[in-house]
Structure 1
Amino acid sequence: MPQAPTTKRVLGGEFTAPGLKKQKSMGTQLEMLPAPARETTPGRVYVFGTGDCAQLGLGEDILSRKKPANLAALNDEQIVDIAAGGLHNMALTVDGKLWSWGVNDQRTLGRSGDEWTPLPVEGLDHVTIAKVACSDSLTVALTDEGTVYTWGTFRSAEGILGHSKEKEVQDLPTIVSGLSNIVDIATGTDHVLALDHRGIVYSWGNGQQMQLGRRIVTRRMLNGLTPESVGVKGIHKVGAGSYHSFALDRNGRAYAWGLNTYGQCGNDDSHLENVPSVAPIDALSSHAILDIQGGEHHSIALTKDGKLYGFGRSDSHQLGLGYTEEPGAEDATSHKKAIRHPTLIPGLPTIKAISVGGNHTLALSHTGDVYAWGFGEMLACGNGEEEDVEKPLKLTGQQIEHCRVLKVAAGGQHSVILAVQER
C-alpha cells in the first residue's frame, strides 16, 4: 500500500507523491505518462432528468424524462464518449469530433444554432479530440496530441469572471497557451485541472474556495485564469468536485484540496473550511484508488478492486449509505448533514466507473449495469420518482432493457448514458 509522504510542500516549492523518485536534474526523469487514448466502441446516447434548459437535447417540447430516453439525433454519429456539465453536454465521435446541446448563454456549446438538439462543435475540424469535460459555463477538450482547447467562460461568486485575462467569453474553441503533452483533464463548477505527461498538475479558473491549490488575491482574481502548477509531481490521474480538486499517484494514493465545509476533501476536521494546498487523504491511505470525483459538496472514491467510498454532504443521500449522518455525530459548522469520514457504500456489485453530478451519483458495473442514488427531485437518478434515492438503485427502463452501458455522465439536474444493444 502507498506510504505516507516523506517530503512536504513548502511555500513556493513542490513535493513528490510517495512511491516516486523526486526529479533531481535534467538527466533524471520521472516516469512519462502515455498520450491520451481515444475510445473506440460506439453506442447510443440516452438521457433522463430535467430538460427545461435544453439539457436533454430532445427538443423544446420535452422538458423531462423519468426514465432513459434515446437521443435519436445522435444515433448515426458513432458516439464513443459523453460528458455532462451543469446544463450542457458533449458527445464524442469515434473519429474525434464533438457534438453539443444544452444552455449556450456563455457559449459553452462552442457553436451557434439550436440549443435544444445536438449539433457539431465548430472550429475543431483540424484536430482529433480524445477527451472532453464540462463545467457549468466552460467546456474543455483534449486532443490526441496533448493540446487543450477551451470555450465559454468561468464564473465567480460575483458573476462572470472571464475566459482569460484577454477575453470575457470565448465563443469558439481556442488553444490554452502554456500547456503541452497533457494526458488528462477534469473540471469543477468553475475551475479546470490538467495533467501532463510528466505527472505535473496544472489548475486555472476561479480560486475563491482554494480549489486551484494556490491563494488568489481578491483584487487580482484574473490571475487565476492562467494555468499554473499546483505543486505536486508524480500524479497519474486528476478529478474534481464543484469547488474542490483531486489527484491520484501511480500507487493509487489520493490527494485533495479546496472547499472542505462538509469534509468533501476527506479531512474530517469540522473546523477546516478549506484545504489550501495539495494534501493526502489519510483516511483512504489503506486503499488503492482508481478514480475519485466530487459533486457540489460530496465526493466518491473508486478503489481498484471496484468498491466505492463516499464522504461529504449527505442531506439528500448523496453518499448512498441509507443514512445522512453518523449515529450520534453533530456537524459543528452547519445545519446540513454530512459524513466526513470516507465510508464504504454497501449494496453494489464490482464497479468500474463513476460519474458524480451536483447532488447525485452514477456508478457503472463491470457487467454494464448502472446504479444511481442521491437527490431525486429533478429525476436525474432515472428511477421515475421525484424523491431522493437513499441507496444505490439499479437503473432500468424500457428503452435500455437489453442494453449494456458503456459510459455514464452525471450533470447538474440530468444524466446521460452511452449504451449498446446486446440483443
Structure 2
Amino acid sequence: MIKKRFLGLPLVSVLLFTMTFLCINDHIAYGQLPQPTRTQPQPGFSPRPQPTGTQPQPGFSPRPRPTGTQPQPGFSPRPQPTGTQPQPGFSPRPQPTGTQPQPGFSPRPRPTGTQPQPAPTPGVVTPQISGGWSHSLALDSEGKLWAWGLNEDGQLGDGTNDSQTTPVAVQINALTTITAVDCGGDHSMALDSLGRVWAWGYNGDGELGGGTTENNSNVPVPVPVPNLTDIIAISAGGEYSIALSSDGSVLTWGANSDGQLGNGNTDQNSVPTKISSLPLMKGISAGEAHSLAVTEDGFVYAWGLNDEGQIGNGEKSADNPVLNPVQVQGLTDIDAVCAGATFSLALGIDGRVWAWGLNDEGQLGDGTNTNSTTPVEVTNLAKISAVACGSDHSLAIRNGKVKSWGLNDEGQLGDGSTRSSSAPLDVTGLSDIVYVAAGESHSLAITSKGNIYVWGLNGDGQLGDGTNRSSRTPKTIDLNLGVTAVEGPGECETDDIEADPKKLKLKVGKSTEVTLTLTGEDGCLVEGESITVKLNSSGKRRVSISPSKLTSDENGNASFTATANAKGKAKITAKAGSSKVKIKVKVKE
C-alpha cells in the first residue's frame, strides 16, 4: 500500500487519498490528498506471526489455507487449494537471518503495510496499484479496475474463485467512476467519486463492513455505511478496514483482537464505526494489526498491536495492545503514513522519512538491525515524494527513481539479489515512476505513461506476468493504465537536478553519456527547462562536452556526452535555474 507525500499513501501510504499505502501496505499510508501523480498505494498485510515480533492476532485462529500453499507468518494459514502458492503473510517468519533464499517462494511473513492512496483531482482518475498478501489491484485512467493473483476468497472480484496470473476485469457495477483502490490481506476495497465504499473478498472478520461475518463475496458489493457519506480515503488492513471522511473523521471495522479498530476494546465489529477520540485527520493507513493516522497539523496517531514498538509511544508489549489512539512521539510536520506488519513509516513535508518498530530485517532503514519504539530517520533519503510499506520491506520514490529496504527473501527489493538491506538501495532499472505499492512479499510501480513494473514473490500469480515465477528485478506486465496527469511546463519549477553517473572514470579517447534529471519540489518532472553544462578551467583541456546547452524533455531528462582528451581530473557543472549538480571526472591514459 504506497503513500505519497502530501500529497498520501502511497508515505505514508498511506494519505488522504481517494484511493487507498499504499492492495501496503500498500499504499499504501496516507497523507494529504496526493497530487495526481504521487502516492502510492497500499500494500499488503500478512498475518502476524506468533508473538515474537510479528503481529499475532490474539485470540484469532487463523483461517486455514489450502494444502500446497506457503504459510504466512503470523497467522495460522488458511489452507490453500492445492497448487496455489502460499499466502504470504501467514506463516511465521523465519529466524532473522537477513536473507531468505528465493526460489520459489517461501512463504513470507506477515503482510503489512498499506500505501497511502491519493485523492484524485476532481474529474481526473489517477492510475493506481495496490498489493495484498497474494493478490494485486490496479486502477486505470478511465476508472476501470483490474485484478490478478490468488482468488480463493473472491478477492479479485471477477465473479469467480479462480486465481489468475494475468489481469482480469473486476466486475464492479458502480454507476460512478472508481477513484481509489486498496488490497487487504484477502479482501479488496474501492472508493467511487460519490464517496461510497465498495468491498469484496474474505469476510470472516466482518472486514467487508456489511454487518455480518458470513459469506465471502466474489463480486464487489457496496459497503453499507448508514448515515455516512463523503468518504475520501480507504485503507484495507490484514483482516480489517479503515475509511476517512471528508470531515476528518475515521471509521473502522473488521477484526479487532489487537485493538486495531481503535475503539477502546478488542471486540470484532462488522459495521463501520467512528473513532470518537481522534482529532481531525487528513490521512490513514491500516497495517496487519495496527493502524496509523495523520492530522491536518501533521501529527501522527497510532493504535493496535504494539509487540514490536510499532505504535511509536516509547513502549512495547505483546500482551497489552493499544486500544485507543495515542500520539507517536517526536513527529511533526508529517504528510503521510504507512503501516507495515510490525513497523511504521512517516513521510515528512520536507521529504524525509521516519520509521519505528521491528527492525530484524532492516525494516527501519536506518543502517542497523536495532528495533526502536520511537521514530528514527531512514538513512540517506531526501526529497522523497511517496512511500509504500510491505510486510517487512518498504519502497520510496525520489525524482522518478525507486529506493527499497528491508526483507528481501523473495527479491522484493528489486536489486537482483535476495539479500536483505538495512539501508535504502536502488531498485534496478526504474525511472519515471510516479506510484509504488508493496504487498506481502511483492512490489509494484507505475510510470507516468501507465506502464506497470512488478517484482518479488509470484507463487500465486501476484506479479500478473502470466507465470508463477518470482523475479528479483522489475519486469513489465501486459497492462497499461493510461497516462498519469502531471504538471506541465511552467507549473513544475526545477527544485533539484541529478546526474547519472555522477562520477566518471574515462580513458583518453573514450566517451560516455551523462543523463540529467530535473524535478520539482513535489517530485514532478520538469519539461522544457534550459540547462547549461560547463567545465572548470583546468578541465577544459582534459575533457570536452557536447552539447553544452540542453533542454529537458517530457520526462525531465536531458543528456550530454563527455569525451576524455588528456590525463587528469576535471569537474563538470550542470545548472538549471538556481539548481546545479557537479560531476567529477578522472581521466587515465
TM-score (ref. length: structure 1): 0.77
Output aligned runs, 1:138-217, within 5 Å: 138-155=240-257, 164-166=263-265, 168-214=267-313, 215-217=315-317
Query: Which residue does 1:295 correspond to in 2?
Result: 390
Instruction: Deviation per CA, 1:191-229: give whole Å up to 9, x if none.
Output: 11100011110000111121101214445x14x020010
SS, match of residue 306 in structure 2: coil
Question: 1:315 and 2:409 equivalent?
Answer: yes
AA in 1 matched with 2:482: R
Query: Which residue does 2:324 correspond to in 1?
Result: 226
Query: Which residue does 1:332 correspond to in 2?
Result: none
2:366, 2:386 → 1: CA distance? Answer: 18
- Whether the 8 Å contact between 1:235 and 1:248 is mirrored in structure 2 is yes
The alpha-carbon deviation at position 346 of structure 1 amounts to: 2.2
1:364, 1:191 → 2: CA distance? Answer: 27
Partner residue of 1:55 out of 135, 138, 155: 155
AA in 2 matched with 1:229: Q
The alpha-carbon deviation at position 172 of structure 1 amounts to: 0.7
1:183, 1:161 → 2: CA distance? Answer: 19
Query: Which residue does 2:530 correspond to in 1?
Result: none
Output aligned runs, 1:262-341, within 5 Å: 262-270=361-369, 272=370, 274-284=371-381, 287-303=382-398, 305-325=399-419, 338-341=420-423
Output aligned runs, 1:98-177, within 5 Å: 98-111=197-210, 112=212, 115-155=217-257, 164-166=263-265, 168-177=267-276
Instruction: Deviation per CA, 1:257-303: give whole Å up to 9, x if none.
Output: 01111101102323x2x22101111332xx21112222111111111
Alpha carbons of 1:35 and 1:315: their partners in 2 closer, same or farther (altered >3 Å)?
A: closer
Question: 1:65 and 2:164 equivalent?
Answer: yes
2:454, 2:352 → 1: CA distance? Answer: 26
SS, match of residue 349 in structure 1: coil
1:406, 1:210 → 2: CA distance? Answer: 37
- Whether the 8 Å contact between 1:35 and 1:145 is mirrored in structure 2 is no
AA in 2 matched with 1:373: W
- Whether the 8 Å contact between 2:187 and 2:201 is mirrored in structure 1 is yes
Alpha carbons of 1:382 and 1:98: their partners in 2 closer, same or farther (altered >3 Å)?
A: same
Q: Which moved more, 1:192-201 or 1:164-173?
A: 164-173
The structure that has the greater radius of gyration is 2
Alpha carbons of 1:225 and 1:405: their partners in 2 closer, same or farther (altered >3 Å)?
A: farther
Gaps of 5+ in 2: 1-30, 35-117, 126-141, 486-589
- Whether the 8 Å contact between 1:152 and 1:163 is mirrored in structure 2 is no
Gaps of 5+ in 1: 1-32, 326-337, 408-423
TM-score (ref. length: structure 2): 0.56
1:63, 1:35 → 2: CA distance? Answer: 35
- Whether the 8 Å contact between 2:260 and 2:289 is mirrored in structure 1 is no
2:316, 2:163 → 1: CA distance? Answer: 39
Query: Which residue does 1:404 correspond to in 2?
Result: 482
- Whether the 8 Å contact between 2:379 and 2:424 is mirrored in structure 1 is no
1:260, 1:216 → 2: CA distance? Answer: 14
Relative CO higher for 1 or 2, CA cutoff 8 Å, sep ≥ 6? 2
Query: Which residue does 1:379 correspond to in 2?
Result: 461
2:360, 2:192 → 1: CA distance? Answer: 39
2:409, 2:470 → 1: CA distance? Answer: 10
1:127, 1:162 → 2: CA distance? Answer: 20
The alpha-carbon deviation at position 73 of structure 1 amounts to: 2.9
AA in 2 matched with 1:404: G
The alpha-carbon deviation at position 75 of structure 1 amounts to: 6.1
Instruction: Deviation per CA, 1:347-393: give whole Å up to 9, x if none.
Output: 11211111110100110111111111000111100011111112111
- Whether the 8 Å contact between 2:146 and 2:168 is mirrored in structure 1 is yes
Query: Which residue does 1:85 correspond to in 2?
Result: 184
SS, match of residue 172 in structure 2: helix
The alpha-carbon deviation at position 143 of structure 1 amounts to: 0.8
AA in 2 matched with 1:86: G
AA in 2 matched with 1:205: G
- Count the aligned residue pairs: 348
1:282, 1:316 → 2: CA distance? Answer: 23
Query: Which residue does 1:354 correspond to in 2?
Result: 436
2:409, 2:317 → 1: CA distance? Answer: 33
Instruction: Report the aligned-residue RMSD.
Output: 2.2
1:300, 1:207 → 2: CA distance? Answer: 23
2:332, 2:260 → 1: CA distance? Answer: 29
Output aligned runs, 1:33-44, within 5 Å: 38-39=119-120, 40=122, 41=125, 43-44=143-144
Output aligned runs, 1:228-267, within 5 Å: 228-231=326-329, 232-267=331-366
2:260, 2:296 → 1: CA distance? Answer: 29
1:121, 1:163 → 2: CA distance? Answer: 20
Q: Percent identity?
A: 29
The alpha-carbon deviation at position 126 of structure 1 amounts to: 3.1
